């Protein structure tokens, strides 16, 4: 059995949905069209059926550290944003609350803040009574 590479899977996925067509000629053309990438991958319809009905194989992950692992600075920034949102929301303008919401979203997505964003967060934290972080 050959290899069903991701790009062949994408091609097959584009073609398979046409098999549900009520027009018999379209279905026949699509059967032939699906057979071509299968043949190029050294597979046939039986191999495709086996792949589609086989139980999913568990994905083996290495235990390497996550490439976006937060640093101590990230934790400090997250702590400042959380403190401001919890203890000083009434003292913040709409734009400042929006900034904190964006910071929280960025951190959840694993993105880092720019230097200007970090400085603004620190200034906002200290202006509103935040201590050392």
Q: What is the pTM of this model?
A: 0.47
User: In whole angstroms, what is the distance from residue 71 CA to residue 26 CA?
Assistant: 56
In total, how many domains does the chain have?
2
Task: Report residue 110 as tokens.
Answer: 């694993």
Q: Can you tell me whether residue 104 is helix, strand or coil? A: helix
Q: Are residues 89 and 48 in the same domain?
A: no
pLDDT bin (cut points 50, 70, 90) of residue 105 is: confident
Burial class (CB in 10 A: 0-12, 13-18, 19+), 16: middle
Q: Is the pLDDT of residue 9 over 80?
A: no
pLDDT for res 38: 83
Q: Are residues 45 and 76 in the same domain?
A: no
Confirm whether 106 is domain-assigned: yes
Full domain range(s) for residue 122: 72-127
Angle, helix 24-40 to helix 45-53, in steps of 10 degrees? 90
CA 61 to chain centroid, in Å, comes to 17
Instruction: Give mean pLDDT, residues 39-64.
Output: 74
Q: Are residues 95 and 49 in the same domain?
A: no
pLDDT bin (cut points 50, 70, 90) of residue 65 is: very low
User: In whole angstroms, what is the distance from residue 39 CA to residue 26 CA?
Assistant: 20
pLDDT for res 71: 67
Confirm whether 62 is domain-assigned: no
Q: Is the pLDDT of residue 4 over 70?
A: no
Instruction: Give mean pLDDT, residues 55-83.
Output: 68
Instruction: Give mean pLDDT, residues 25-31.
Output: 85
Q: Are residues 78 and 43 in the same domain?
A: no
Instruction: Give mean pLDDT, residues 74-99.
Output: 88
Tally the residues of the chain: 133
Q: Are residues 80 and 122 in the same domain?
A: yes
Confirm whether 113 is domain-assigned: yes
DSSP classification of residue 60? P
């Amino acid at each position: 059995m050959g290899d069903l590479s991701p790009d062949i899977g994408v091609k097959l996925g584009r073609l398979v949905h046409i098999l549900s067509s009520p027009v018999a000629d379209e279905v026949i053309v699509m059967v032939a069209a699906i057979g071509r990438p299968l043949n190029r991958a050294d597979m046939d319809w039986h191999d495709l059926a086996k792949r589609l009905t086989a139980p999913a194989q568990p994905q083996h992950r290495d235990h390497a550290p996550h490439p976006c692992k937060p640093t101590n600075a990230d934790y400090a920034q997250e702590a400042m944003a959380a403190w401001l949102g919890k203890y000083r929301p009434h003292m913040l303008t709409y734009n400042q609350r929006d900034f904190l919401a964006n910071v929280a979203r960025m951190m959840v997505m694993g993105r880092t803040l720019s230097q200007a964003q970090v400085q603004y967060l620190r200034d906002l934290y200290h202006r509103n009574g935040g201590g050392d972080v």
